[in-house]
Amino acid sequence: MFKFMLRGVCAAGALYCTFEYGMCFTICSGDSMQSTIYPGDIVLNEYWSVFSRSIKKGDVVIFRSPEKPLENRCKRVTGVEGDIMPHTMQLDPEFRDIYYSRLVPRGHLFVEGDNMHASRDSRHYGPVPYGLVRGKVIAKIWPPSDIQQI
């Protein structure tokens, strides 16, 4: 009986550590990542890439919104520290042909939604500090018909 209880405690401890320090599930909302991730999709994200600062261009990350810190966002990394990001003035049609660039500072990521017309991202609020990044998305696990590695 003692061995059975000990195994149960060890299994519970391993599960706790896995989901507290290793990975977690996130339910996505919003249209900004369509056609990769849709509202209601559940993704699995891991923390190690954040701790080791090994996030690279093309990765999809979960981060706290710089504008609404109680909300998480899901976007694709399009620039890492040191990159120069081209930018077009999109706020006023009169200035659509004006281009400028911005440098992604040290310790920051430039993130954009795959559905750029429905996304509020680094083009609006600037590069995201690494400290706001919660994890890197590694797989979409719901709905079952669309399970895939990201």
* Domain coordinates in residue numbering, the chain: 25-149
**Pick from 80, 133, 131: nearest CA to 104:** 80
Say what the pLDDT of residue 96 is. 55
CB count within 10 Å of CB 38 equals 15
- The CATH homologous superfamily for domain 25-149 is Umud Fragment, subunit A (2.10.109.10)
Is the entire prediction scored with pTM above 0.75?
yes
Q: Is-catalytic flag, 75?
A: yes
The Cα–Cα gap between 53 and 47 comes to 10
| Active-site residue (options: 32, 49, 119, 122) | 32
Query: Contact 41/62 with Cβ under 8 angstroms?
Result: no
Work out the mean pLDDT of the chain and round it to a whole number.
84
Of 35, 49, 65, 75, which one is the catalytic site residue? Answer: 75
Q: Are 91 and 79 in contact (CB under 8 A)?
A: no
Tens digits of residue pLDDT in 73-101: 999 999 999 998 886 555 555 555 555 67
Task: Tell me the pLDDT of the chain (150 aa) as tens digits.
Answer: 666 665 655 555 555 655 566 788 898 999 999 989 999 999 999 998 888 888 999 999 999 999 988 999 999 999 999 998 886 555 555 555 555 678 899 999 999 999 988 899 998 888 999 999 999 999 999 998 999 998
119 is catalytic: no
